[in-house]
Structure 1
Amino acid sequence: MIRAWAAHEAGGKLTPFEYDPGPLPDDEVEIAVETCGLCHSDMSLVDDEWNISAYPLVPGHEIVGRIVEAGPAVKHLKVGDRVGVGWFAHSCLGCHTCMSGQHNLCADATGVASAKKGRFGGFAERVRAQGAWAIPIPDGVDAAKAGPLFCGGLTVFYPFVHYGIRPTDRVGIIGIGGLGHMALKFARAWGCEVTAFTSSPGKEEEAKSLGAHRVVNSRDKDALKAERGRFDMVLSTVNVPLEWARYVQALAPDGRLNFVGAATEPMGLAPIALMGGQAQLSATSVGTPAIAATMLEFCARHGIAPQTEHMKMSQINEAFDHLREGKARYRIVLENDFA
């Protein structure tokens, strides 16, 4: 039996829960969880904000731990390896999409915390994932802080690789939070000119310490207007509706407004607003196993780590409350304390 923390209804508190995972599939590994980051998406799952949840639900998808068992088909990992697992725990590995290297877009891709498909997440003493989705953590990456890299970090790193962002590009980051603070670090290390858009003027110095060259108050319409035609990419990390037309106007010709924050409201943009500068609208998923490994190497090379707060896993409900209240700076990491 595996001990975990589970929600039993939408919006419910997490309580102790045990489940029998059954035999280990040949292509999977079982991981003794050391830490698991707490992501805003965990709240969305617990609250069934996206209408995809089933209960009991064990959330947690920013997992770091050591392999304690590996199926016979797993050849590149062994017992004792320290690995990380993010949003996905499985893809088919045989479809055209997977064979093209886009495992995250596989129609059969399954989340590590997908209770509907019999999977339970990382707020537990152990968790399982397909070997392909268990990413070794290299030397030079602080394992105690690495959990948030496997969702929040990969989510904001992926667009830089996927869209071929260049060191000479000008990049804007909307939001300085769990995703945004890592995006600032990546963009600066990538070599870009980095601008932070924030609605909190008091965050200006902090944004610069995280990597921003410039900070723009997103509540100041004149300040936004002054950015017209500047950016090769604007990356939105927020999950709230904004005046998106102003950010489209801030794009350089052929510029891109890319969404990684899970905003659910319609955008209210007319196609003609995109045509003059050939603006591109896009959204990206959390990234592939190969890009996750590349991201970790990049972090080790540049000394990049998320800014974290640490709590015990038994404090999980306090951690959720802390996140709901907007007090997290900027990612909460829960440490396994199952006796």
Structure 2
Amino acid sequence: MSSGNIINAYGVMQAGGGFEPYQVKVGALGATEVELEVLYCGICHSDLSMIEDEWGISRYPMVAGHEVIGRVVATGEHAKHFKPGTVVGLGWNSGYCETCHYCRQGDKNLCAEARFTTLTGGGFADKARADMDSLLEIPEGVDLVSAGPLLCGGITVFNPLVQFDIKPTAKVGVIGIGGLGHLALMFLNAWGCDVTAFTSSEHKRTEALSLGAHKTLNSRDPEEIKSAAMSFDFIISTVNVNLNWDLYIQALKPKGRLHFVGAIVDPIQFTLFPVLFGQRSLSASPVGSPATIETMLDFVAHHQIRPQVEIYPMSQIEDAFKHLKSGNSKYRIVLSRE
């Protein structure tokens, strides 16, 4: 059954346009669909990239928002296991093909037919709809107000820890202490790693230590980075700009890995020989599978991890995006409908 045929949202009508009140007409729920009453929705830099069509895949009108915390209000006939009132999360993907090799083996985040929440109707609205297999029940102990950013920013930095079997004895570097990086510091500290924060901002050094880093290095000081040569088992880059990657590759131990989760749109450059002779690796990854998101949520509940968020009423969505663009947010922004 459906709870109604109109969703009241904030939409963008064209690339780079402002937000406008926008009504989405919807039909009956599909058999595997669930309708949510949106409680909170995080704002991610990827929302801005989609709104401004930086990646060339956007469609308009667009209702963005893919860090959704909502309450189940209606279900399709095959989704009855989601009871009305259950609080669930909806992240980057709103559905999967369910038939490809990657879906069958559990890597649904790698499904070529995965549907993007920002393109199917996201959380900048009073309600949202998604396929049941893309929804995660929020476990007890997870703070609902700050939970939305976990569903994109959080899983983006948590997924590599699982995929590459990062050991609690590993020495790990985090490049960039922002929306993604601050979560990486908290996760890696709780994971048990020796954590170093690379930051270009002097005032963020103290903040990085309070978030879980054991030490810091200035990412704008080549000599400081060179002093850490052959120190790290794993370095994760959360920034969306190019750096001198050779410096970071040389900071890796033999068999170490430089991993990218920040969306750099320009080609990256590096020298092959340090990679080749040190048997080092470069890699990248998107968000994680639903199963990995579940694991992350349990990890968050166990370790009482909370993203640092700033709250705006959804009616002030334009102000919230201006704050995002300013680069001064600490560290994630969440829109509230309560």
- Whether 1:32 and 2:37 are equivalent positions in the alignment is yes
Q: Note the 1:194-273 alignment, pairs <5 A.
A: 194-273=195-274
Structure 2: any 5+ residue segments left out of the alignment? 1-5
Measured in 1, the distance between the counterparts of 2:107 and 2:303 equals 26
Shift of 1:272: 2.6
Q: Note the 1:2-13 alignment, pairs <5 A.
A: 2-13=7-18
SS of match in other structure, 1:255 = strand
Q: Note the 1:131-150 alignment, pairs <5 A.
A: 131-150=132-151
- Whether 1:112 and 2:117 are equivalent positions in the alignment is yes
Shift of 1:73: 1.4
Identity between Structure 1 and Structure 2 (%):
51
SS of match in other structure, 1:56 = coil
Shift of 1:177: 0.3
Measured in 1, the distance between the counterparts of 2:332 and 2:87 equals 21
Measured in 2, the distance between the counterparts of 1:222 and 1:144 equals 41
Measured in 1, the distance between the counterparts of 2:179 and 2:48 equals 13
- Whether 1:68 and 2:69 are equivalent positions in the alignment is no
Q: Note the 1:169-180 alignment, pairs <5 A.
A: 169-180=170-181
- Whether 1:280 and 2:285 are equivalent positions in the alignment is no
SS of match in other structure, 1:113 = helix
Shift of 1:327: 1.3
Measured in 2, the distance between the counterparts of 1:323 and 1:231 equals 31
Measured in 2, the distance between the counterparts of 1:78 and 1:288 equals 23
Shift of 1:270: 3.4
Q: Look up the match of 1:48.
A: 53
Shift of 1:25: 1.0
Q: Look up the match of 1:87.
A: 92
Q: Look up the match of 1:23.
A: 28
Measured in 1, the distance between the counterparts of 2:319 and 2:80 equals 40
Q: Look up the match of 2:194.
A: 193
Measured in 2, the distance between the counterparts of 1:79 and 1:99 equals 28
Measured in 1, the distance between the counterparts of 2:78 and 2:229 equals 53
Measured in 1, the distance between the counterparts of 2:121 and 2:235 equals 34
Shift of 1:77: 1.9
Measured in 2, the distance between the counterparts of 1:251 and 1:264 equals 24
SS of match in other structure, 2:257 = strand
Measured in 2, the distance between the counterparts of 1:309 and 1:329 equals 7
Shift of 1:75: 4.8
Q: Look up the match of 1:322.
A: 323
Q: Which amino acid aligns with 1:104?
A: N
Q: Note the 1:151-162 alignment, pairs <5 A.
A: 151-162=152-163
Shift of 1:271: 2.7
Residue deviations 1:20-53, cap 9 Å, x none? Answer: 1212111110110000000000110111000010
* Count of equivalent residues: 333
Deviates more, 1:20-29 or 1:326-335: 20-29
Shift of 1:273: 3.3
Measured in 1, the distance between the counterparts of 2:334 and 2:34 equals 22
Q: Look up the match of 2:3.
A: none
Moved over 6 A (4+): none
Shift of 1:302: 0.4
Q: What is the TM-score with the length of structure 1 in the denominator? A: 0.97
Residue deviations 1:163-202, cap 9 Å, x none? Answer: 1000000110000000000000000000000000000011
Q: What is the TM-score with the length of structure 2 in the denominator? A: 0.97
Q: Which amino acid aligns with 1:219?
A: R
Q: Which amino acid aligns with 2:274?
A: A
Shift of 1:92: 1.1
Cα RMSD after superposing both structures: 0.9
8 A Cα contact 2:47 2:118, kept in partner:
no
Deviates more, 1:272-281 or 1:246-255: 272-281
Which one of the candidate residues 96, 103, 121 is aligned to 1:98? 103
